[in-house]
Structure 1
């Protein structure tokens, strides 16, 4: 595995300066943020990879004021997606920083627990807080699109961090969507048969007990598709043509119909640009 030091040393000097200056401005102004994405992932797993941007996680109520503050400091900013994402851009390059306050599916809202359980680390020579591993696992577990599947990241986080994971809090984070966690834990035992004991027995027994309780009860009568929480475009036909309720829509989920429409249009445009 590459070290995270090598990853940082390969960063373009202009990009590094942009990232460091922005984080320094936020830190000195006591604007709370957590570093996530590739920079957090490499510190948990020691797997380094090229990252196209810097992911900063902020509370929903803080995002707008942070964007406004950065605009006052001369950065170009935008609220890219009203339900989860803002951006700040470098003035002399194509670099940008993502300000994330939820997952793209409307779940995993950044709350106080993210900050209470954050880990202090060195990123680009600066002492910062990085996202807790439990929240990283929960966010990545739902990324199962045709063009992006974060299952390997989940497996590597479990492999590297099983002993430090607060499993009770991880179960709390998944809540009623525990089947998603169970699916990743089953895959983990397939991927690493000799390491399956890293997953505590009580966790597997608890999840299988929930599964058995479901099998012993009648299925829900509502026609609901939760696939849109995993891959919005691949399950678009279910909610638009086949009469299924979209699990992203409030009160089931955390998005409004308008936000779903805007985000779907964005994803389609992005897909066309790549093709």
Structure 2
């Protein structure tokens, strides 16, 4: 019996063809062309998004664009290379990415996250993994950086929690857990929340997350319970969703915790920049 093609819905699954079933050949060619142009120009980049997730988790899904992660110092040059080769470009969209279009086909050059926390730095490249994508030799971001950047995506229209649990299930045994903990730093509660969801989803695989890490995070949580409420009325929800916590700021009298966090990071307060600091010792 002949092998059946995947359903045209592009729903996630284990068949690699699901990434291409809804995409015209010209679009896939444009993605490969962008990769080749930047490679030939010697500009470091990492293939992320659905392609990187499939590399680690073995789950393939349709994607409307190609996400390339790049350091800010290289992003303008990458955009210039694409523009010189016929791409229509837009720079500094929302303050954290460039966009390039080949006809209607989109490539995103991402150098930070929407909330400004997960900036693409040298460690993304130091720990990157070699892969074959769209017929090209390239690299994908480290699984830890993928987890870190997706952990703050909690929008109504997009929630990446299922990708995080699958990433832990399939790649967590090889995680550099101390490095991931350092990445979350003052946002350790976000890490703990996703690890608890993983434990709920996969009770037979809880040991993938090291016992020392769970004990450390639960100890911090216990300490924050003992500490009680912060005196300053903050809402840090806008670090998780740009739009859906505006009512708290605009109508309910909460101070914008995202703006506070940005200022606090700029001040470089060492006490609040440690893993315990931001939530065990809130502003008073």
TM-score band (shorter)?
A: 0.7 to 0.9
SS at 1:78 equivalent: strand
SS at 1:148 equivalent: coil
Q: Is the 8 A contact 2:94 2:114 kept in 1?
A: no
Alignment-derived partner of residue 185 in structure 1:
195
Q: Could you tell me how far 1:120 is from its partner in structure 2?
A: 0.4
Alignment-derived partner of residue 161 in structure 1:
171
Q: What whole-Å deviation, never above 9, does each CA across 1:13-52 have from its counterpart, x for those lacking one?
A: 1011111111111001111111100000001011001000
* Alpha-carbon separation, structure 2, partners of 1:177 and 1:19: 34
Q: What whole-Å deviation, never above 9, does each CA across 1:191-220 have from its counterpart, x for those lacking one?
A: 111111111111100101111222232533
* Alpha-carbon separation, structure 1, partners of 2:52 and 2:80: 26
SS at 1:129 equivalent: strand
1:57-136 maps to which residues of 2 (within 5 A)? 57-79=69-91, 81-90=93-102, 93-136=103-146
Gaps of 5+ in 1: 255-275
* Alpha-carbon separation, structure 1, partners of 2:91 and 2:253: 31
* Alpha-carbon separation, structure 2, partners of 1:145 and 1:104: 12
Cα 1:16–1:155 shift into 2, 3 Å: same
* Alpha-carbon separation, structure 2, partners of 1:245 and 1:102: 24
Gaps of 5+ in 2: 1-12, 267-284
Which moved further from structure 2: 45-54 or 71-80? Answer: 71-80
Query: Which structure's CA Rg is the greater one?
Result: 2
Q: Could you tell me how far 1:9 is from its partner in structure 2?
A: 7.0
Q: Over the residues paired in the alignment, what is the CA RMSD in angstroms?
A: 1.7
Q: Is the 8 A contact 2:237 2:258 kept in 1?
A: no
* Alpha-carbon separation, structure 2, partners of 1:110 and 1:251: 20
Q: Is the 8 A contact 2:18 2:62 kept in 1?
A: no
Q: Is the 8 A contact 1:247 1:253 kept in 2?
A: no
Q: Could you tell me how far 1:96 is from its partner in structure 2?
A: 0.7
Alignment-derived partner of residue 170 in structure 1:
180
Q: Could you tell me how far 1:175 is from its partner in structure 2?
A: 0.7
What TM-score, normalized by structure 1, do the two folds share?
0.86
Q: Could you tell me how far 1:240 is from its partner in structure 2?
A: 2.0
Q: Given the alignment of the two structures, is residue 225 of structure 1 paired with residue 197 of structure 2, yes or no? A: no
SS at 1:121 equivalent: strand
* Alpha-carbon separation, structure 2, partners of 1:53 and 1:45: 19
Q: Could you tell me how far 1:253 is from its partner in structure 2?
A: 6.5
SS at 1:88 equivalent: strand
Q: What whole-Å deviation, never above 9, does each CA across 1:60-110 have from its counterpart, x for those lacking one?
A: 2222222123212221100252521110000xx311101111111111000
What TM-score, normalized by structure 2, do the two folds share?
0.84
Q: What whole-Å deviation, never above 9, does each CA across 1:87-144 have from its counterpart, x for those lacking one?
A: 0000xx3111011111111110000000000000000111101011001101111111
1:230-245 maps to which residues of 2 (within 5 A)? 230-245=240-255
Length, aligned pairs only: 252
